[in-house]
Every structure is written in structure tokens, then in C-alpha cells.
Amino acid sequence: MITYKVKAILAAKSEDGDIEIEKFVTSFVDLENPIDARKNAYNHYVSILEVIGNKDDPENNLWKHIYQYSERKTFQHGESKFQIPTNKEGMGVNLFFILDADFMGIKKDEENLIEGDQEERAYLTLAENLVAEMNYYKTNGYHTDNYTSTIRFWNYESNKENEEVIEKVLFTSYDFWANWNPKLAEGNME
């Protein structure tokens, strides 16, 4: 059995103007059609991002939320001083899958990130989790309703130099290659 979990840590202003950190978790399970649980979890994840900011730009809403509500650290560069949000509060919105048994290196009851909008995102782990999730579906004969994406990512931990991996996974909005590839790692932004 596969369970999907959306976890969010967000800030809200109380009536007296203080900032309060709110944490909430919502789980999604569908024993007959796990893909329906996955779709519902993803829709819930996106709806949280839409609610905290501009509905037309959910990708940037969390960053803006963290910037607005997070504690700041002052940095000085020459004569200039600037404030950077620290996010010590751990604000973020994340979608995980959890299995009820060990499977291909995934531990039973372990949260495995497949969509995440916190500032610290483990790029390669995210890609590997998406691949493991798809393998779980294949192994168990679960249908996907063509709710899939093809991801292209750089396995920077591989023994092969600049190993490029292309995999079909369940839907993800994250463009791995555009956000991290060998050229970017070498400092080439083209």
C-alpha cells in the first residue's frame, strides 16, 4: 500500500499582529486506485501554494511567503548591508509517499519527498524517489492514467562523468535539467 502525505509549515499573523507558525499534515490513500490518491495529494499541495499567494504564480508563492515571514540575517558586502531570510522556522510545503513495506531501498513508513517547495531540496534524492515511486507502481500493477512526466536529470554521484538519466515517472512539475545540470555546476549559465 502507498500513502501520500502533504506536510506544510507556514506562517500566519495573529489578531495581535504576532507571527505564528502553523503546521499541518494531510494524508491521502486509495487502496483501489492509488493514482487517485496521488492526484488528490498533488492537487492539495498546489492549492496550498495558491492560497498563500498569487493563484497565477504558485511556483514563487512559497519563496515570497518565506521572505515575508522568516527571520532575517544581516550580511555586509563592502559598504552594502542586506537582509536574507533564514527560514529557521522550516517553512515549506512538501509532498511525500510512504510505503507499508520495504521496497528497492525505500524503507517501510519512511517519508519520501516527490514534490517540495522548501528552500533546501535534495535534487538527486527527489529524482530517485520519483523513479522508485514509478517502479512501485509497475511492480504492483497499478495503473497511472497517463499521469506521467519524463524527467531528465544529472546523476552527479555516478562514476560515469556527467551521467544523464531520462526516466518516465508519475507527474512532477519540477524541471530537473533546467535547474541542475553539468553546465550549471561548471558555472556555465547557458
How wide is the angle at C-alpha 59 spanned by C-alphas 55 and 65, nearest 5°? 80
Please provide the average confidence, as pLDDT, over all residues in the chain: 84
**pLDDT 10s digits, 138-153:** 999 999 999 999 998 8
Cell of 122: 535534495
The DSSP secondary-structure symbol of 106 reads: B
Percent of the chain exceeding pLDDT 70 equals: 85
Higher per-residue pLDDT: 44 or 119: 44
Higher per-residue pLDDT: 159 or 42: 42
Name the band, by pLDDT with cuts 50, 70 and 90, for residue 19. confident
Task: Using the predicted structure, report yes or no on whether residue 177 has a pLDDT greater than 80.
Answer: no
Cβ neighbours of residue 141 closer than 8 Å, sequence gap 6 or more: none
Q: Which helix (H) or strand (E) holds 41?
A: helix 34-51
The predicted model scores a pTM of 0.81
Q: Lay out the sheet containing 112-116: strands in order across.
A: 19-28, 2-13, 92-99, 112-116
Domain boundaries of the chain, sorted by first residue: 2-142
